[in-house]
Amino acid sequence: MTIPSFVVGIAGGTGAGKTTVARLITENVGESVTRIPIDNYYEDLSHLDLSEREAVNYDHPSAFEWELLREQLSTLLEGRPIEMPVYDFEIHNRKNEPTTVEPTDVIIVEGILALYDEKVNEMLDLRLYVETDADVRILRRIQRDVIDRGRDLEGVIDQYLSTVKPMHDQFIEPTKKHADLIIPEGANSVAVNLLEEKVMAEVHGDAVRDWERPSPETRRDRR
Ligand code: CTP
């Protein structure tokens, strides 16, 4: 049984490069790392039809099933496997089949609101916020939604102005204050390299660390 020893949260706005950071800092550690995209914890919207699901505000914290994320994360931290939901952006809903995720040495929790929930934050050993200029992020978002996901440009712009941007300012950007480290730009190779070394050291058991995942009480006292 593996008890995860290092849990990293990676937050930041849409298109900031969170997934790139997560991939780059873990690509050389093979199966000792599990990535938990919080997109997988969007609420189950099977009771709505497709046009209703298209209209949902996916950047508001209420779009996520926090209780399930907390529960599954703590199950992994106890060394037990989870049945993680899998999100499908095409249908704006979860797929029917979850996927089994085994606990590993390192766990990466990644998503726009990865540093939002207090209980999730308490389970993170290292909290990262990827900060990338808004113009770069919207360009990446347009490219991804229009080219990769086949959405229409007008819809992407409408969504950005009506929900993505205001929610970013109201909920996502403020989580930066919970971060231990802020990474300027998603592919910042100096930061990525330092973090990769840290992840490697955690996996190989020779990490130098004089902080531990504190109990909620200790963490509250420290901050
Ligand atoms: N989203 C969407 N449609 C859905 C569900 C979510 O358009 N059915 C959007 C939300 O509006 C939210 C975004 O998905 O802004 C969250 O994903 P994002 O952070 O952009 O993706 P990552 O690839 O994790 O980010 P990064 O580019 O930083 O790697």
Whole-number pLDDT of residue 113: 98
Q: How far is the CA of 156 from the centre of ligand 1 (A)?
A: 12
14 annotated ligand binder: yes
* Widest CA span in the chain: 52
Residue predicted with more confidence, 16 or 185: 16
Whole-number pLDDT of residue 222: 42
Average pLDDT over residues 50-54: 95
Q: Is the pLDDT of residue 121 over 90?
A: yes
Atom 27, ligand 1: which residue's CA is nearest?
15
Q: Does residue 107's CB lie within 6 angstroms of at least one atom of ligand 1? A: no
Q: Is the pLDDT of residue 54 over 90?
A: yes
Q: Is the pLDDT of residue 8 over 90?
A: yes
Share above pLDDT 90 across residues of the chain, in percent, rounded to a whole number? 83
Q: How far is it, in rounded angstroms, from Cα 98 to Cα 114?
A: 20
- CATH homologous superfamily for 6-204? P-loop containing nucleotide triphosphate hydrolases (3.40.50.300)
Query: Cα torsion for 121, 126, 130, 131, to the nearest 10°?
Result: 80
Q: Does residue 18's CB lie within 6 angstroms of at least one atom of ligand 1? A: yes
Q: Is the pLDDT of residue 44 over 50?
A: yes
- Strand 33-37 to 106-110 pairing: parallel
pTM: 0.94
Q: What pairs with residue 100 in β-bridges?
A: 83
Given a contact cutoff of 8 angstroms between Cβ atoms, the answer to whether 141 and 15 are in contact is yes
Q: Does residue 125's CB lie within 6 angstroms of at least one atom of ligand 1? A: no
Whole-number pLDDT of residue 220: 45
pLDDT (tens digit per residue) in 163-200? 999 999 999 999 999 999 999 988 899 999 999 999 99
Atom 9, ligand 1: which residue's CA is nearest?
58
pLDDT (tens digit per residue) in 106-117? 999 999 999 999
Amino acid code (one letter) for 178 = H
Ligand 1 atom nearest residue 53's Cα:
8
Distances from the Cα of 24 to the Cα of 85, 121, 139, 191, angstroms? 24, 22, 21, 10
Pocket test for ligand 1, best of 10, 14, 56 (most atoms within 8 A of CB): 14
Nearest Cα neighbor of 175 from 10, 7, 53 is 10
Look up residue 178 and give its two tokens. 């919970």
12 annotated ligand binder: yes
186 annotated ligand binder: no
Whole-number pLDDT of residue 207: 83
Helix, coil or strand: residue 149: coil
Distance, CA of 212 to chain centre: 21
Q: Is the pLDDT of residue 223 over 50?
A: no
Q: How far is the CA of 58 from the centre of ligand 1 (A)?
A: 8
ipTM score of complex: 0.95
Distance, CA of 189 to chain centre: 20
